[in-house]
């Protein structure tokens, strides 16, 4: 079972297309997230994409080390808020209205 998880982490890093594998050593990622993956995502192992998605969904419960390793996969916590426009009555530009 541990070999499957190591394979899942290795394939996940290879599949990202980023330099994630260069930034984080494979063993570090495996060690950091192994317990969390078995705790939260056991049903998705060995499917690497589902396991990664599961870890991202459960980011609040992950250990700090795993969160650090997977931080680049997390969506932003707070989406940018659009500024609210204050609705005002239309302004009349006719000279008669200003009297």
Q: What is the full per-residue pLDDT of the chain (99 aa) written as tens digits?
A: 666 666 667 666 666 555 554 555 667 777 888 899 999 999 998 888 898 889 889 989 999 989 888 887 776 766 555 656 677 777 777 777 555
CA dist list (Å): 76 to 13, 40, 56, 71, 80: 20, 21, 11, 10, 9
Q: Which long-range contacts (CB under 8 A, 24 or more apart) does 87-93 make?
A: none
- pTM here? 0.51
What pLDDT, on the 0 to 100 scale, is given for residue 74? 72
**Of 70, 75, 56, which Cα lies nearest the Cα of 28?**
70
Per the CB < 8 A criterion, the answer to whether 9 and 26 are in contact is yes
């Amino acid at each position: 079972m541990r070999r499957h998880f190591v394979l899942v982490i290795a394939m996940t890093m290879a599949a990202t297309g980023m330099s994630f594998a260069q930034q984080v050593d494979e063993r570090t990622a495996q060690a950091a997230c192994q317990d969390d993956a078995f705790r939260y995502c056991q049903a998705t192992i060995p499917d690497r994409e589902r396991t990664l998605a599961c870890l991202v969904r459960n980011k609040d419960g992950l250990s700090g080390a795993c969160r650090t390793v997977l931080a680049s996969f997390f969506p932003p916590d707070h989406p940018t808020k659009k500024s609210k426009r204050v609705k005002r009555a239309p302004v009349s530009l006719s000279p008669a209205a200003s009297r």
